[in-house]
């Protein structure tokens, strides 16, 4: 028997209590699998892209495959809320609302257990490692994904600062591309009394910080470079530095713009390192492509909101924060939409943020209307 509607809040609170970091979501996956076992899906796929899960509900007639996706992972943030269901894991908490997203998709699965799709199939997908940008890539590159490849994919993300329960969506770029750039410079230490006998990266580091910060002004369209960390040598007054690190986050609205920004950033760094005769390495972390909604995917979200009686607003531009859901819409029709979590809610990744339980039935209703239109519900 499917869980009762009021149990989805309880499920959300349980998931909130036991958060796990990206690619470590084994316990979370086990909890979700246990719930879905009671729903008796037609297929169960575990270990997808690492810890990912996919639960397939088949219709009797041929039709499209519709994938509804949420995220398993939490963040390395210490929770400060005094909640009865506060995180039990020191330094780890659900501060992006993925616990709520999972509860919504679980509620969708419970309805599919009661009323199977009439045609095609619907997949409830719980994806690992969204926070690092690696999870969606891991999933679509998993050999098991070939038999799950969707015709349509949809997802949501809660959004503080917007009216509770209001949907926001658009065609085209929904989330910006972003990536972390790590620049490592290596010279040679020397006694601080004789810095001329060494090879200091100090000048190059300063020029790189300034150059990266100013780089968007030299390019067309929106580009953003945020220097987030810089370190020169060690804390030792007797030693002139021999190494330096600069870290920056690059953001653009499109993947093409990101390619241009990366090329220019690398050229700038390489020139400064060469001018100072320094060894250079460049590394990349948390690489996210732009998440792009298809025109049809956007239209289906807006129509579902109208049918479900949920207020929906078309956004003028995409969000600067990143999401790896775009890996799915590179393969099929689909869209992500934002679901307002309250104008006075703490922001995502704040230590006092908590997902509003009132959003569970709203998200469920929108997803079910999308499914009803594409796959029917018997």
Residue 180 and residue 247: Cα distance in Å, rounded? Answer: 7
- Within-domain flag for 2: no
The tokens describing 49, both together, are 């892209």
Same domain, 110 and 143: yes
Q: If phi over 0 gives left and psi between -120 and 50 gives alpha, with beta otherwise, what is residue 248?
A: beta
Helix (H) or strand (E) holding 119: strand 119-127
280 within a domain of the structure (yes/no): yes
Least confident of 1-5, 98-102, 197-201: 1-5
pLDDT in tens, 33-77: 999 999 999 999 999 999 999 999 999 999 999 999 999 999 999
pLDDT at 164: 98
Task: Tell me what pLDDT residue 4 has.
Answer: 57
Are residues 282 and 320 both part of a single domain? no
Q: Give 344's contacts (C-beta < 8 A, 6+ positions apart).
A: none
Tell whether 1 is covered by a domain: no
Domain boundary among 253, 287, 321: 287
Q: Is residue 203 part of a domain?
A: yes
Q: Reply yes or no on whether the pLDDT at 260 is more than 70.
A: yes
For residues 345-369, give the mean pLDDT: 98
Structure tokens at 251: 């953001």
What would the pLDDT profile of 190-215 be if each residue is shown by its tens digit? Answer: 999 999 999 999 999 999 999 999 99
Query: Does residue 58 share a domain with residue 45?
Result: yes
Output the domain CATH number for residue 331.
3.40.630.10
- Same domain assignment for residues 243 and 303: no
- Side-chain-side CA neighbours of residue 179 (13 Å): 21
**What is the C-alpha to C-alpha distance for residues 338 and 98, in angstroms, rounded to an integer?**
13
Banded pLDDT at 347 (limits 50, 70, 90):
very high
pLDDT of res. 6: 64
CATH code of the domain in which 244 resides: 3.30.70.360
This prediction's pTM: 0.93
Confirm whether 60 is domain-assigned: yes
- In this model, does residue 3 exceed pLDDT 60? no
Examine the domain organization and report whether 95 and 216 are in the same domain: no
Q: What share of the chain is helix, strand, coil (3-state, %, to 5)?
A: 35, 30, 35
Whole-number mean pLDDT of the chain? 97
205 is a domain residue: yes
Task: Give the end of a domain, one of 271, 287, 303.
Answer: 287
- Do residue 278 and residue 308 come from a single domain? no
- C-alpha distances (whole Å) from 103 to each of 99, 173, 237 are 6, 26, 54
What is the count of structural domains for the chain? 2
Statement to judge: residues 45 and 128 lie in one domain:
yes
95 and 194 in a common domain: no
Burial of 201 (0-12, 13-18, 19+ CB in 10 A): buried
Alpha carbon distance 54, 41 (integer Å): 10
Are residue 221 and residue 303 in the same domain, yes or no?
no
Q: Does residue 55 sit in the same domain as residue 193? A: no
Domain end among 287, 320, 350? 287
Residue 1 confidence class, pLDDT cut points 50, 70, 90: very low
Q: Are residues 317 and 275 in the same domain?
A: no
**Is 101 in the same domain as 200?**
no
Say if residues 38 and 1 touch (Cβ distance below 8 Å): yes
The range of the structural domain enclosing residue 228 comes to: 177-287
Residues 263-288 have a mean pLDDT of 97
Question: What pLDDT is stored for residue 81 in this prediction?
Answer: 95
Q: Could you tell me if residue 131 is inside a domain?
A: yes
On whether residue 254 sits in a domain, the answer given is yes
d(CA 291, CA 289): 6
Mean pLDDT within 322-332 = 96
């Amino acid at each position: 028997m499917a869980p009762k509607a009021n149990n989805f809040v309880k499920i959300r609170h349980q998931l909130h209590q036991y958060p796990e970091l990206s690619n470590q979501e084994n316990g979370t996956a086990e909890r979700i699998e246990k719930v879905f076992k009671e729903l008796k899906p037609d297929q169960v796929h575990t270990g997808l892209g690492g810890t990912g899960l996919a639960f397939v509900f088949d219709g009797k007639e041929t039709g499209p495959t519709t994938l509804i996706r949420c995220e398993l992972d939490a963040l390395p943030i210490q929770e400060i809320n005094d909640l009865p269901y506060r995180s039990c894991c020191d330094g780890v908490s659900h501060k992006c609302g993925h616990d709520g997203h999972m509860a919504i998709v679980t509620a969708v699965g419970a309805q599919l257990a009661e009323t199977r799709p009439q045609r095609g199939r619907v997949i409830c997908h719980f994806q690992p490692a969204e926070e690092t940008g690696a999870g969606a890539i891991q999933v679509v590159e998993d050999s098991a994904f070939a038999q799950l490849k969707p015709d349509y994919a949809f997802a949501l993300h809660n959004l503080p600062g917007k009216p509770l329960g209001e949907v926001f969506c658009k065609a085209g770029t929904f989330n910006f591309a972003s990536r972390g750039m790590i620049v490592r410079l290596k010279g040679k230490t020397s006694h601080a009394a004789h810095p001329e006998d060494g090879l200091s990266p100090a000048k190059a580091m300063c020029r790189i910080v300034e150059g990266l910060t100013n780089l968007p002004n030299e390019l067309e369209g929106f580009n953003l470079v945020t220097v987030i960390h810089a370190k020169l040598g060690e804390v030792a007054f007797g030693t002139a530095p021999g190494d330096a690190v600069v870290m920056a986050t690059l953001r653009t609205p499109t993947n093409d713009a990101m390619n241009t920004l990366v090329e220019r950033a690398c050229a700038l760094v390489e020139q400064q390192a060469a001018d100072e005769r320094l060894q250079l390495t460049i590394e990349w972390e948390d690489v996210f492509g732009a998440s792009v909604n298809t025109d049809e995917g956007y239209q289906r979200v807006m129509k579902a909101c109208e049918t479900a009686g949920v207020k929906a607003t078309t956004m003028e531009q995409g969000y600067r924060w990143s999401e790896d859901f775009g890996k799915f819409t590179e393969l099929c029709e689909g869209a992500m939409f934002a679901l307002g979590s309250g104008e006075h809610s703490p922001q995502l990744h704040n230590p006092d943020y908590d997902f509003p339980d009132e959003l569970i039935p709203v998200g469920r209703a929108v997803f079910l209307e999308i499914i009803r239109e594409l796959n029917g519900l018997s």
